[in-house]
Amino acid sequence: MAHSIKLAVLGADEPLAEALFKELEARDLSVGEVHALTLGEAEANTSFNGEEIPCQPASGFDWSRADLVVVATRSRAAGHFVDAALAAKRPVLAVGEALALHAQATGLDPDHPELPAGRLWLAPDAVASLIARVLKPLAASLGVTRVDAFANLAVSTMGQAGIDELREQVSQLFSLSGIDNAIFPLQIAFNLIPQVGDILADGKTQAEQATGQALGQLLGANAPACHLTMSWAPVFYGHGIALHLAGGEGLSIDNVRTRLQNAPGIVLMDEHMPGGCPTPATDAAESGDAFVGRLRAVGAGDTKCVQLWLVGDNVRVEAANLAQIVERFVEKQ
């Protein structure tokens, strides 16, 4: 029988932490003690299993009081506290690209997690998880050899600060005042920004590289070549991803549709009518499913290509990934 664990959540006042607590409650895990840690002022409360838990500053926290540390923020300021937790020989679980270049970071498949102490483990981000969910029933059986993806990322990826920045910029534009930006490199309101994370030497961004690595981890050695472009979008919740799949003769609309109709966690919405395609706001929000639509075939000769549109609630997907790994950790105690 699993023993009760002590859990520390860094960024406990963020949307991802709120969703994580709901996922943990739904799984009815044996969590005996929760330390809600914030990078800001200790004014907020969070809720877990019907109990109000006041947030406390991460600064000065004794990391040895936790059996597992979960990072629910992408703030770069979290890095200092991650180092402190690792120095205390705690296993640390995080998501996202902000910590992907950390010397001790190791990618993790939620289906096969191992969490030895003193290591930083990265759960797959929402883009990698959503793309992998679509590719798993298609890649091997239909001979997919190449995937091109363009992902529009919701601002909630950057937590409450990202949500607030979009909301404030919209207000500033309507009041004809100056635009302030701190979280995103440029104005995000009514705009698209094709730079998610720092640009690396090869031209990829830090997020594109981290997501590509996570996607490879999820799909395994036989994963098709995946090429990603990411952009910030002025959407609060829900990623939108255009996928172009290339392969051999077996890659057809009918074969793709048949496999996606029977795939777990996927909702196929492919009606050829106005409003018949999935969107982040009308379908993905508050759902853990991946919604797929706009299937169409292009190409001729030996190479076939099927294009599709994919949306999913980024916060719910990442919270589910984290909760699944926490569940496995609890079972092994």
Rounded to the nearest angstrom, the gap between the alpha carbon of residue 131 and the centroid of all alpha carbons in its chain is: 11
Contact 243, 310 (CB under 8 A): yes
Share above pLDDT 70 across residues of the chain, in percent, rounded to a whole number = 93
Which ranges in the chain are annotated with CATH 3.40.50.720? 5-124+319-331
Give pLDDT, residue 235. 97
Contact 51, 58 (CB under 8 A): no
Residue 112 has pLDDT above 70, yes or no: no
The domain 5-124+319-331 is classified under which CATH number: 3.40.50.720, 3.40.50.300, 3.40.190.10, 2.60.40.10?
Answer: 3.40.50.720
The domain 129-315 is classified under which CATH number: 3.40.50.1100, 2.30.180.10, 3.30.360.10, 1.10.1520.10?
Answer: 3.30.360.10
CA distance 9 to 65: 12
Residue 1 has pLDDT above 50, yes or no: no
Q: Tell me: the pLDDT tens digits for 205-248? A: 999 999 998 999 899 877 899 999 999 999 999 999 999 999 98
Nearest to 120 by CA among 109, 110, 106, 130: 106
Non-local (6+) Cβ contacts of 221 within 8 A are none
CA distance 160 to 15: 6
Looking only at Cα atoms, what is the longest distance across the chain? Answer: 64
- Neighbour order of strands in the sheet with 5-10: 56-57, 31-38, 5-10, 68-71, 92-95, 120-123, 105-107
Lowest mean pLDDT among 109-123, 194-208, 308-322: 109-123
Which ranges in the chain are annotated with CATH 3.30.360.10? 129-315
Token pair belonging to 271:
């009606």
Residue 76 has pLDDT above 70, yes or no: yes
CA distance 328 to 113: 7
At residue 96 the predicted structure's pLDDT band, cuts being 50, 70 and 90, is: confident
Q: Tell me: the pLDDT tens digits for 50-60? A: 889 999 999 98
Non-local (6+) Cβ contacts of 39 within 8 A are 10, 11, 58, 73, 75, 77, 78, 81
Burial class (CB in 10 A: 0-12, 13-18, 19+), 85: buried
Contact 316, 265 (CB under 8 A): no
Give pLDDT, residue 274. 87
At residue 204 the predicted structure's pLDDT band, cuts being 50, 70 and 90, is: very high
Q: Tell me: the pLDDT tens digits for 308-326? A: 999 999 999 999 999 999 9
CA distance 310 to 326: 27
